[in-house]
Amino acid sequence: MIVNYQAIDRTGALVNDNLVVEDASQAYGQLTRNGLIPVRITAQKSKPICQAQGGSGLFSRWGFSRVPRKDRARRKELPFFTEQMAILLETGTPVAASLSALERQLTDPHWRLLVSQLKKKVLEGGSLASAVAAHPKVFDPIYSSMIAAGEASGTLSTILNRLAQLSRQSDRLRHKVISAMIYPALLTSIAFTVMGVLIFFVLPRFAVIFEEMSVNLPGTTKALLTISRLVRSHILVTILSSAMVVAGIIIFLRSQRGRRFVARNVLKLPIFGSLVSSIHNARICRLIGLLIESSVPLLEALELTCSSVKHYMYAELLKKIHQSVLNGQSMHEVMSESKLVPASITQMIHTAEENAQVGRVMTLLADHLDDRNETQIGTLTSIMEPVILIFMGIIIGMVAISLVLPLFDLSRISA
């Protein structure tokens, strides 16, 4: 059969042509092997047999339901891209040729299209920094600024290695936090499931038994049976009320006021507050240190770091530091007035400023804080697991005791 196709080539241009193939699967495979990204494949004089934009047809069943778009490139692939670029540049490969090699390696169609666009800009005479700056959803301002500094100083491969290290460090910490939350979340889900089974299945049966036996019930047992009866008899109201409460909480947390409320109060929590503060301090030190070591001026480094910090209290602190440095003051003077930065960090930054070693010292501080944070996260995880198990055991135990006590009274009366 003859098929017409639209595809994107390695320069980002749209190609229209036809092929003689047996089916759509063979057409897709042949185009991919030729370095093209299929957009639309149609049999001549028939309706489309597979279309990247559509929701029906063979493409949607194969998982290729969308046209590749550079703005859909996932940041998860950024460390791989950065590391590979650093390796290629270290071997003396020009930037455009490195991008071409990477384009062939990448399997994600969105990233292939993005790299194709970067290569096109570089071949047109633009810098890599200007090319990546045109895609802020993937490459943040810190990334593009460090690339620009690397191109200006002729140390692009070194800068890319530092960026890859930053990405790896961020990913490692994020995975550590996610892993720490999985087990508590699983136990909490199990606890809610158990409570649901008790309320909807176990307690109603015991209620019938106690009613038939006319047993004098303790207060805790009466409370449990009353809760079970109310929830079951007003199930719709319970679901709607719960949904409204959850929706209200989500809306509040997504609002600026809600985010600020959480950010402010999280820092006041025992143990967790100091950990959150330490994580933010480590990130700030890491970013400022890397930017200064990459020959980015201090004022610009502070500006870029401020734009990447999501905690509003730390963002305001960085704005204050930026203004003070602009007025001729040193960083440690403003930091010493804030409770967000420990005195030990302030003192080390003071020493670094006196010795003109701010970048190196802040990077070392970040390494130290990240190591300590990872250890603390591991410790908290090991503590939380038995605490949650004990808490679940207490709740389920209280329910079990409340149900068993009337049975003991019944057996004593019978005796």
pLDDT at 251: 94
Print the domain residue range for 153: 75-166
Last residue of a domain, which of 109, 137, 166? 166
**Using CA of residue 321, residue 323, residue 328, residue 329, what is the dihedral sign?**
negative
CA distance 305 to 285: 9
User: Which amino acid belongs to residue 314?
Assistant: Y
293 with 356, same domain: the answer is yes
What digits encode the pLDDT tens for the residues 276-304? Answer: 999 999 999 999 999 998 888 999 999 99
For range 387-407, the mean pLDDT? 83
Query: Final residue of a domain: which of 48, 67, 86?
Result: 67
Residue 244 pLDDT > 90: yes
Contacts of 27 (CB under 8 A, 6+ apart): 3, 5, 19, 21, 38, 41
Q: Do residues 125 and 146 both lie within one domain?
A: yes
Q: What is the mean pLDDT of residues 2-13?
A: 72
Same domain as 115, residue 148:
yes
Q: Name the domain boundary from 39, 67, 95.
A: 67
Q: Give the residue-averaged pLDDT of 375-381.
A: 87
Has residue 326 got a pLDDT over 70? Answer: yes
Average confidence (pLDDT) over 227-243: 88
58: in domain: yes
Neighbours of 127 (CB within 10 A): 17
The answer to the question of residue 138 being in a domain is yes
Concatenate the DSSP letters of all residues of 170-224 into one string: HHHHHHHHHHHHHHHHHHHHHHHHHHHHIIIIIHHHHHHHHHHHT----HHHHHH
Q: Are residues 319 and 214 in the same domain?
A: yes
Q: CA Rg, the chain, in Å?
A: 30
CATH number at residue 336: 1.20.81.30
Residue type, 352: A
Does residue 330 share a domain with residue 262?
A: yes
What pLDDT, on the 0 to 100 scale, is given for residue 44?
65
Q: Is 42 helix (H, G, I), strand (E, B) or coil?
A: strand
Q: Give domain status of residue 180, yes or no.
A: no
Do residues 253 and 393 share a domain? yes
**pLDDT attached to residue 106:** 81
User: Strands 2-8, 37-43: parallel, antiparallel or unpaired by DSSP?
Assistant: antiparallel
The winner for highest mean pLDDT among 58-67, 163-172, 184-193, 305-314 is 305-314
Summarize pLDDT for 139-187 with one digit per residue, the tens.
Answer: 888 888 889 888 888 888 889 988 888 888 888 888 888 887 888 888 8
Q: Are 49 and 11 in contact (CB under 8 A)?
A: no
Q: Are residues 147 and 30 in the same domain?
A: no
CA atoms of 255 and 269, how far apart (whole Å): 21
Q: How far apart are CA 32 and CA 16, in angstroms?
A: 15
If asked whether residues 142 and 190 sit together in one domain, one would say no
Encoding tokens for residue 186? 């699983």
Coil vs helix vs strand at 17: strand
Question: Are 211 and 327 contained in the same domain?
Answer: yes
Rounded Cα distance, 99 and 84, in Å: 9
Residues 59, 87 within the same domain: no
- The verdict on 62 and 203 lying in the same domain is no
| 39 three-class SS | strand
Q: How many domains does one find in the chain?
A: 3
For the record, the structure tokens of 206 come out as 């015991």
Q: How far is CA 38 from CA 57, 69, 284, in A?
A: 15, 12, 42
**176 found inside a domain:** no
Per the domain annotation, does 410 fall within a domain? Answer: yes
- 402-412 confidence digits (pLDDT tens): 888 877 766 66
Share of the chain above pLDDT 70, in %: 89
Same domain flag for 227 and 328: yes
The answer to the question of residue 11 being in a domain is: yes
